[in-house]
Chain A
């Protein structure tokens, strides 16, 4: 039995009770909800900044913004989307789903869980307040290369640095929690190789976070001392090197991009088997591919620096290592397709998003391979081609993955169904908008349009107009998504069945819908075949 005393007396003023409940909660579902709400809020803020950027780029010339403000918008957009939208959304999903999927009563360290979450709003207050400071917000791009961020950074850079420190603390503590939960809290019989893939991918994501975030903390700390205490880490006249910053940053940065996609891989691997009504093809190879990707991600950071100046041997090493990552990635895509092969497929909204994920993520993987070629990258680097690449892996990857997850598990979380027709409309408009926004960037990039510059040659005008129209549409689809979720929560059809989707497997579908506040008060017993993996049958 779970010893849980409600310490909040019932007769408190409702508003205070409400605040206390959310401020003090140690429940994984409530904290998961908080993460998802914060991520969605920041997604809108970051999205609004993207709208400013696309509005400015609608036509060549300076229309709406001054160059410095444009740079601030590009920078904050990137930082907020990476640290504020994608990462918290995934942590929110982990909070909601990991205990359900492994048959645990809650996260392993519930108080720490609350701490990890509530650090975040403050971190973003620090970061966003920089917009209102003298000298403006950080304007050096989300990668904050030295010396732009050291010698030339505005005063608000220091708030940004401390903001990043707080985000780092939050992520590391959150990752430790997920890690320990998965390693220690599995129900009897839930062996590692019976875990659902979402849990596996999060286990590995947690490892990446624990290994990479402290390095980012080191990078911003060196920035801070270079800015104010006279050190010369990134200063050649003192024996340091600005390129050192890039090495440290990308040592964090490349694992970070996998932090932003691995949980998405996990989500696709949960959803596709359900709607193909088949077991996931190649469970073990999926797990091994994920581990391989994670380990390789620590030795490929140099592919972001091909044009920055490295010895030839290093360029070659990073090129081959990067291309090697395509192998386990290909294994995954192959397995998803093989899962669908000859399945009895239906295309409910989560499945649409998952299939869209597979197809468009693959496009992004291919442009990544092009970028991995050193001589080609000399041409493509710092052009819109790179922007196209990472938006193809991140939007249909991380964002579609998250949305697929929300559609898929919302009935379980809330006990209410979303509107299937609106969901389909959402998927198709979003897919059209994503491609309209980001596909033309491949062309403008290959033709030489540099990224992060407020103005551009009229030669790129048509492509940019298309991108901006697409971006506007994409912005509207977010409002549709918000509407669909709110509608589902307030007036959606009630779900009574525990098994929401007929083909779904996993422990979360054995709990009633909506899932009770405390997941598994007594540990479920996992028979070899209940577990998601077909591992034991092999």
Chain B
């Protein structure tokens, strides 16, 4: 990448106007953060604050964020459609999205790190491995090192989530959706608008279906297996990883739906479709994370 940009590209670089969207976004994030804490304090028992307005503040913040994204991306789309973007700018957007995905990978890495730490270190140690016999003998002599952790040192019990039921179906769904979004991309590049719309719509449906099954799975975990956020490190890592993954699938599905809508409105050309590509990268990323999840959370 040591090649400098080619001569003649930089002069057409377009520096956007002053923009109101970023400050709207900052205020909205602040409102959301404040609302979230207030809501947590009002609904959980560690800090029993009075009232119920927290959740509304949070939703207001969220609403403004959505409004901001709408406005911000709307501006960018307008710039793109009117041809103000140069090749240089397109590359900036691409690189920006790629590094954003790298940062997301590291976010998941933190939770995978916690999972591996629990499985390889803390659970065996609590059961006396290494030089930890005393912890085991004097604190929790009944505790056994198994994974999934059916019983915590403190005695909370749970059942494990079976990998080859819903989770496996979800794997198939997500992998298929990665394929269909690629078909959509190929169709876009060949200007086959109908195929593009169809494949993209299928992808959106698969994403939504995945989320539906995830809800079913969570209900089963809570009601039948006794697997909850509170059932020790197995439940903690299970819900943290699948939960944040689910949040990302939700984001991805919304993004895909927006792309579908834009396809219907005649956006994107075979040469110029950064938003579509970025969305599909994001979708593949979410898919790959799921494969790791399936392997290490459900399967082994």
Q: Say whether A associates with B.
A: yes
Count of residues in B whose CB is under 8 Å from the partner chain: 81
Contact with B along A2-16 (1 / 0, CB 8 A): 111111100000000
A295→B15 CA distance, assembly (Å): 34
Docked complex Cα distance between A2 and B15 (Å): 6
- 1/0 per residue, CB under 8 A from B, across A377-397: the answer is 000000000000000000000
A94 → B minimal CB distance (Å): 15
Asked whether any CB of chain A lies closer than 8 Å to the CB of B63, the reply is no
Given A180-B92, A180-B99, A189-B4, also A237-B153 (CB < 8 A): yes
Instruction: Kindly state whether residue B117 has any CB partner on chain A within 8 Å.
Output: yes
Residue with the greatest number of chain B CB neighbours at <10 A, chosen from A21, A158, A165, A166: A158
> Shortest Cβ distance from B102 into chain A, in angstroms?
6
Chain A contact residues: helix, strand, loop or mixed: helix
B153 engages A162 (CB within 8 Å): no
Is A215 within 8 A of B107, CB to CB?
yes
Range for the number of chain A residues in contact with chain B: 35 or more
CA distance A202 to B228 in the complex (A): 44
A165 to B240, CA, bound (A): 17
Contact B19 A217 (CB under 8 A): no
A115:B122 contact, CB within 8 angstroms: no
Contact among B15, B21, B30, B117 with A247 in the assembled complex (CB-CB below 8 Å): B117
Q: Is the CB of B229 within 8 A of A229?
A: yes
The answer to whether the Cβ of B236 comes within 8 Å of any Cβ in the partner chain is: yes
Within 8 A of B (CB), among A398-438: none
Q: Once the chains bind, are B10 and A222 in contact (CB under 8 Å)?
A: no
Give the docked Cα–Cα distance between A326 and B12 (Å). Answer: 45
- Contact check, A188 vs B18: say whether CB atoms are below 8 A apart: no
Q: Is the CB of B25 within 8 A of A115?
A: yes
Tell me the nearest residue of chain B to A25, going by C-beta: B18
- State whether A225 touches B103 (Cβ < 8 A): no
User: Scoring A residues 226 to 259 as 1 if CB is less than 8 Å from chain B, else 0, what string do you get?
Assistant: 0111111100111111011001100100000000
Contact A518 B229 (CB under 8 A): no
A125–B13 Cα distance when bound, in Å, is 36
| Residue in chain B with minimal CB distance to A237 | B154
Knowing A26-B18, A215-B106, say if A239 contacts B113 (CB, 8 Å): no
Chain A proximity of B138: nearest CB distance (Å): 13
Contact, CB under 8 Å: B5 / A239: no
- Segment of A41-49, A101-109, A484-492 engaged in the interface with chain B: A101-109
Asked if B230 and A239 make an inter-chain contact with CB atoms under 8 angstroms apart, the answer reads no
The answer, among B92, B121, B139, for a CB contact under 8 Å with A185, is B92
B5 with A229: CB separation less than 8 A: no
Interface-centre pick from B16, B103, B149, B154 (highest chain A CB count, 10 A): B103
Partner of B104, one of A115, A214, A227, A244: A214
- Interface assignment of A23: CB less than 8 Å from any CB of chain B: yes
Q: Which residue from chain A places its CB closest to the CB of B36 in the assembled complex? A: A162
Tell me whether A183 and B96 are in contact (CB under 8 A): no
- Our pick among A7, A189, A224, A238 for the contact of B152 (Cβ within 8 Å) is A238
Question: Which residues of A lie under 8 Å from residue B88 when comparing CB positions?
Answer: 184-185
Residue interface mask A203-218, B partner, CB < 8 A = 1:
0000000111111011
Do A518 and B15 contact each other (CB < 8 Å), given the known contacts A118-B23, A166-B33, A232-B233? yes
Chain A residue with minimal CB distance to B45? A228
Let me know if B113 and A247 touch, CB within 8 A. Answer: yes
- Whose C-beta in chain A lies nearest to the C-beta of B110? A218
**Stretch of A76-84, A190-198, A268-276, A356-364 contacting B (4+ beta carbons < 8 Å):** A190-198
B126 contacts the other chain (CB 8 A): yes
A 91-149 contacts with B by CB, 8 A: 104-106, 108-112, 114-115, 118-119, 121-122, 125-126
Q: Does B207 contact A (CB under 8 A)?
A: no
Q: A158-B41, A165-B33 are in contact. Are A111 and B19 (CB under 8 A)?
A: yes
User: Is A522 touching B11 in the complex (CB atoms < 8 A)?
Assistant: yes
Residue of A nearest to B112 (CB): A218
Contacts of B154 in A (CB 8 A): 237-238
A374: Cβ under 8 A from any B Cβ? no
Residues of B within 8 A of A5 (CB): 17
B92 and A115 contacting across the interface, CB-CB below 8 Å = no
Q: Tell me how far the C-beta of B129 lies from the nearest C-beta in chain A, rounded to whole angstroms.
A: 10
- Does A187 reach chain B (CB closer than 8 Å)? yes
Q: Kindly state the separation between the CA atoms of A183 and B96 in the bound complex, as whole angstroms.
A: 10
Q: Are A158 and B37 in contact (CB under 8 A)?
A: yes
Interface status of A476 (Cβ within 8 A of chain B): no
Given contacts A5-B17, A237-B153, contact A183 B1 (CB under 8 A): yes
User: Does A24 touch B at the CB level, under 8 Å?
Assistant: yes
Contact assessment for B95 and A218 in the assembled complex, using a CB-CB cutoff below 8 Å? no
Check B17 against A188 for contact (C-beta < 8 Å).
no
- Does A1 touch B at the CB level, under 8 Å? yes
Kindly state the separation between the CA atoms of A230 and B237 in the bound complex, as whole angstroms: 12
A109 in contact with B92 (CB, 8 Å): yes
Q: Is B53 an interface residue (CB 8 A)?
A: no
What separation, in Å, do the CA atoms of A125 and B33 have in the docked complex?
A: 11
Q: Does any Cβ of B come within 8 Å of A176's Cβ? A: yes
Q: Which residue of B lies closest to A523 (CB)?
A: B10
Give the CA-CA distance A27 to B123 in the complex, in Å: 52
Known A-B contacts A111-B16, A228-B46; the reply to A176 vs B103 at CB < 8 A is yes
B42-86: CB near A (< 8 Å → 1, else 0) gives: 001011000000000000000000000000100000000000100
Q: A180-B92, A227-B46, A238-B233 are in contact. Are A114 and B117 (CB under 8 A)?
A: no
Q: Check A111 against B21 for contact (C-beta < 8 Å).
A: yes
Q: Which residues of A contact B228 (CB under 8 A)?
A: 230
A369 to chain B, nearest CB (A): 28
With A166-B30, A238-B152, A523-B10 as contacts: A26 and B106 at CB distance below 8 Å: no
Q: Which among B18, B88, B230 has the highest number of chain A CB atoms within 10 Å? A: B18
Residue of A nearest to B1 (CB): A183
Q: Is the CB of B100 within 8 A of A193?
A: no
Contacts of A179 in B (CB 8 A): 95, 99
Determine whether B197 belongs to the interface, using a CB cutoff of 8 Å to chain A. Answer: no
| Complex CA–CA separation, A104 to B14 (angstroms) | 12
Give the CA-CA distance A518 to B107 in the complex, in Å: 36
Among B44, B113, B139, B152, contact of A248 (Cβ-Cβ < 8 Å) = B113
Indicate if the CB atoms of B236 and A192 lie closer than 8 Å: no
Tell me which residues across on chain B come within 8 A of A193, comparing CB atoms. Answer: 2
What are the interface flags for A333-351 relative to B under an 8 Å C-beta threshold, 1 for contact and 0 otherwise? Answer: 0000000000000000000
Is A368 at the interface (CB under 8 A from chain B)?
no
Ordered by A's residue number, 29 sampled pairs between the chains whose C-beta atoms are within 8 Å are: A105-B13, A105-B15, A111-B19, A111-B21, A111-B22, A111-B72, A115-B21, A122-B30, A159-B34, A162-B37, A166-B33, A169-B29, A176-B96, A180-B99, A183-B1, A185-B88, A187-B4, A188-B10, A210-B102, A212-B106, A215-B113, A232-B233, A236-B139, A237-B152, A238-B156, A239-B122, A239-B126, A241-B125, A244-B118
Which B residues form the contact surface with A (CB < 8 A)? 1-7, 10-11, 13-23, 25-27, 29-30, 33-34, 36-37, 40-41, 44, 46-47, 72, 84, 88, 91-93, 95-96, 99-100, 102-104, 106-107, 109-111, 113-114, 117-118, 121-123, 125-126, 130-131, 139-140, 149, 152-154, 156, 228-230, 232-237, 239-240
- Ranked nearest first, the 9 interchain pairs of A and B with the lowest CB-CB distance are A218-B110, A230-B230, A237-B154, A239-B233, A115-B22, A231-B236, A122-B30, A241-B122, A214-B107
Q: A23-B23, A188-B10, A210-B99 are in contact. List 8 more A-B contacts (CB 8 A).
A: A24-B20, A110-B16, A115-B22, A218-B113, A232-B236, A233-B233, A236-B139, A251-B113
